[in-house]
Amino acid sequence: MTTLNEPLHLSNGAPLPNRIAKAAMEELLAAPGQLPGDELLTLYRRWAAGGAGLLITGHVMIDRRAVAQPGDVVLEQDTPLEPFQRWAAAGKPAGGQIWMQINHPGRVIPKDLAATTRAPSAVPIDVGGLSSMYPIPQPMTAQEIDETVARFAVTAQRAQQAGFDGVEIHAAHGYLLSQFLSPLVNRRDDRWGGSLHNRARLLLDVVGAVRERVGTGFAVGVKLNSADFQRGGFDTGDARDVIKMLADVGTDLVELSGGSIESLATAGSPADGRTLAREAYFLELAEQLVATSPLPLLLTGGIRRRAVAQQVIDSGVAMAGVATALAIDPTLPRQWLAGGDAQVRPPRTRFRNKTLAAAAVQAVTSRQLARLGAGKPSKKRYSPAVALLLERLVRARRRRSYLKWHTAA
């Protein structure tokens, strides 16, 4: 039986020392200039000391014109590299690896950050009464698609130059690459639309361009939805086929997650009505994919106990990804690897509106990350309403900083 302590050998070379990964969370802690600053360095030093074999950063944007939130880090061709070198070094003192997650949000950009957004098709975001927060996107031109592929490759190469051990290309959660994969959002009738292979073309081109830039000794992972949890959307059968396509273009590892802004599966509210387990949300779907996957899989979503992490490994999944739990206790991996049963309680809210409830839970997580980044302990109990208010105030300040920087650039 494979245990959490066993190393994982990927095709790119250096082994991961154990089977626990710190999965990506949107930290929202960018310093002025959308750079990693002292708070992110402190946060990643604490996670590195926590014992996870792999740290995957929160998403780093490949284009300053397209950020999901004003606290997101941006890495482009002309971005100063020294802050990223310090970030990479902060994540590796305990012998694990650190990968940078790289992303383009596509249509998932609020109006107060961009008046115009790009997506595969002009399909607006549907989040009920909050839909007006997002502009109707413009369909991407062939030139814009080619430019996006090039930007992913440039950001990956710069991450490699900064000392990161790999990148994870974000193709889940309803962001741009996931939008192209979705038959509900991608209504194109050209070479990027229609069949699954056409809808996957942008993702495959991105992975191929990244691999060409970084060579064979650098890890390239992909985060992919096991399902979008929307009727008629990207489903588990699609995921099975895309994983096989990814194996042919140089991918080392696929992380499975699920849902999007329109179907908050990671918050327990799938739009297609399916019930999700309280822990290891996507394990049932992952078990359907393990048997046919030519690539090692990493499963993320709701894992907060050692027994559940081991259950994921027992299913044949190569790694267990832990996210929100590590915003509360960054030492959990070390305790689990030593045989301990430490666990944490996830943030909860009584808000009835699903979108508002998900935002409140995210706000609690963000406030906990900010405390860890400031060198403070997390709070065992944090009011979702207070966290939501504080996050709105912090976001307003960061928005002013981002717009000033973007305008001056």
pLDDT for position 267: 47
Tokens of 312: 């994921």
Q: What is the CATH number of the domain that holds 274?
A: 3.20.20.70
pLDDT for position 264: 61
pLDDT for position 279: 66
CB atoms within 10 A of CB 39: 19
pLDDT for position 281: 64
Encoded amino acid at 88, one letter: A
CA distance 292 to 315: 13
Cα–Cα distances (Å) from 226 to 199, 200, 310, in that order, read 16, 14, 20
Q: Locate tokens 């490994």: which residue?
A: 313
In a domain, 2, yes or no: no
Look up the domain containing 179 and give its range.
Answer: 20-347
pLDDT for position 172: 95
In a domain, 331, yes or no: yes
In a domain, 201, yes or no: yes
Quote the pTM value.
0.95
At residue 302's C-alpha, the angle toward residues 265 and 269, to 5°, is: 20
In a domain, 371, yes or no: no
Q: For residue 234, what is the enclosing H or E element?
A: none
In a domain, 79, yes or no: yes
Contact 245, 204 (CB under 8 A): yes
Tokens of 1: 């039986």
Q: What is the pLDDT of residues 343-392, one digit of tens each?
A: 888 777 777 777 777 788 889 999 999 999 999 999 878 888 899 999 99
pLDDT for position 209: 98
In a domain, 361, yes or no: no
pLDDT for position 275: 39
In a domain, 409, yes or no: no
Contact 87, 36 (CB under 8 A): yes
Please count the structural domains in the chain: 1
In a domain, 288, yes or no: yes
**Burial label, 128 (beta-carbon count in 10 A; 0-12, 13-18, 19+):** exposed
Cα–Cα distances (Å) from 370 to 21, 278, 358, 387, in that order, read 20, 26, 18, 11
| Ranges under pLDDT 70 in the chain | 264-281
